[in-house]
Amino acid sequence: MKFLHTSDWHIGKTLKSRNRLEEQAGVLREITQIAVDNDVDAVLVAGDIYENVAPTADAHRLVVRTLLHLARQNIEVVLIAGNHDHGATFEAYKPLMDVAGIHVYGQARSAAKGGVHTFRAKSTNEHVNIAVLPFLSQRYAVRAAEIIANTPSQNVGAYDQLVRDVLTNLTGTFTPDAVNIIMAHLTCTGGKFGGGERPAQSIMEYHVPAAIFPVEAHYVALGHLHRRQQIPAACPVHYSGSPYAIDFGEQNNTHVVCLVEASPGTPAHITDIPVTAGRSLRTVHGTVAQLTADPAGYGKDYLRLVVTQPGYAGMREDLYEALPNALQILIHPDHAGTAVTAGISVDQPVRTPAQLFADYCHSVGVSDDRVAALFNQLHDDLTRSTTRP
């Protein structure tokens, strides 16, 4: 049987206040056409369908129309919630989506309560098992382990062990006469960041070793890290990556969907199919004269400009007028003293909220791991809205 693995659509994502919904629509049309052209049995979307937990009506409309179009082609459509999605909302719509042939999973559940999606491949009539694991925050991983795997949380403190216990329950239903797949939204230890992920829910306790995936799995379809990559493991473990550049940190990434062919008893064969509808992001350095010398040469690329000359009043306006696709203007650190005059930020590495809070604690003489842990928990609550499984 054949299926497409994709993830991290982030529909509704804006970039420096620039609306990208039309671009995102083009990306989804291309993915849909790839699925149809390759006559796939299923499309698996491994989380972060939306950019935030409260998508706009236009973002909802685009996603729903895309999923319906796929389902009408007699394609099995299965998707899980990522850390940017609202899992409880996915669950609320699940009965209605099931009727439409779209199978959504917002929260972790045991195999006995539907945590493994099963179907027959239309092309081969092969039996397919998909163990589905939506994103689990630290505290809900504890809760999920208690409910699904009957694991006392006081005896299991590590996040990776909690996830392992949940997966053990789900993959216990795998059978040798079926194509057995795991779909999860998480960070694998050793995985490379794409550049646009949410750090607070990707690092710290939020990573698991690839060894948690059993050899019986024909394929592990992961979402969360935006870079296309394979993680070394006993079975094929793959991130499809985001199908377009989410932020400037991803400007050099390769954007694809994974076409996977698998049969019981044989290794999966994976082919990367490029997705080209997304607009390229580009960071360019130079003086104002150099940056504006050939505007047509940038094509439709969105630009981040790093100015390598002293700032002057009106510089920002001059650059935006000459380069309407410029989304961000920075002053090179060598000219940091003139940034205020130009009203432009200095080109500096982006620091995570946790790093900024650690700097603050250091400045006021606070050194307590409990304070840092509380900050991380509060930040997780603010950036991840969900209910317990």
The predicted pLDDT at position 147 comes to 56
The predicted pLDDT at position 385 comes to 45
Q: What is the mean pLDDT of residues 149-157?
A: 50
What residue spans of the chain are helical by DSSP H? Answer: 21-37, 57-72, 87-99, 138-148, 159-171, 288-291, 315-322, 339-342, 353-363, 369-383
Is the distance from CB of 77 to CB of 4 less than 8 angstroms?
A: no
The predicted pLDDT at position 133 comes to 96
pLDDT band at 204 (very low <50, low <70, confident <90, very high): very low
The 3-state DSSP class for residue 374 equals helix
pLDDT band at 150 (very low <50, low <70, confident <90, very high): low
The predicted pLDDT at position 342 comes to 62
Asked if the 2-274 domain carries CATH number 3.60.21.10, the reply is yes
The boundaries of every CATH 3.60.21.10 domain in the chain are: 2-274
User: How much is the pTM?
Assistant: 0.84
pLDDT in tens, 89-138: 999 999 999 999 999 999 999 999 999 999 999 999 999 999 999 998 76
Please state, for a pLDDT cut of 70, what percent of the chain lies above it: 84
The predicted pLDDT at position 196 comes to 61
Dist. CA 34–CA 45, nearest whole Å = 14
The predicted pLDDT at position 380 comes to 64
Contact residues for 289 (Cβ-Cβ < 8 A; gap 6+)? none
Is the distance from CB of 260 to CB of 227 less than 8 angstroms?
A: no
The predicted pLDDT at position 236 comes to 96
Contact residues for 317 (Cβ-Cβ < 8 A; gap 6+)? none
The predicted pLDDT at position 344 comes to 67
The predicted pLDDT at position 389 comes to 40
pLDDT band at 350 (very low <50, low <70, confident <90, very high): low
pLDDT of 348 strictly over 60: no
The predicted pLDDT at position 339 comes to 61
- Of 164-173, 192-201, 356-365, the least confident: 192-201
pLDDT of 183 strictly over 80: yes
pLDDT of 277 strictly over 80: yes
Q: What is the mean pLDDT of the chain?
A: 87
The predicted pLDDT at position 340 comes to 63
pLDDT in tens, 253-275: 999 999 999 999 887 999 999 99
pLDDT band at 370 (very low <50, low <70, confident <90, very high): confident
The torsion angles phi and psi of 318, rounded to 5 degrees, stand at: -60, -45
Dist. CA 222–CA 93, nearest whole Å = 23
pLDDT in tens, 6-62: 999 999 999 988 999 999 999 999 999 999 999 999 999 999 999 999 999 999 999
Burial of residue 152, with CB atoms counted within 10 A of its CB: 0-12 exposed, 13-18 middle, 19 or more buried: exposed
Please state, for a pLDDT cut of 90, what percent of the chain lies above it: 69
The predicted pLDDT at position 359 comes to 74
pLDDT of 364 strictly over 70: no
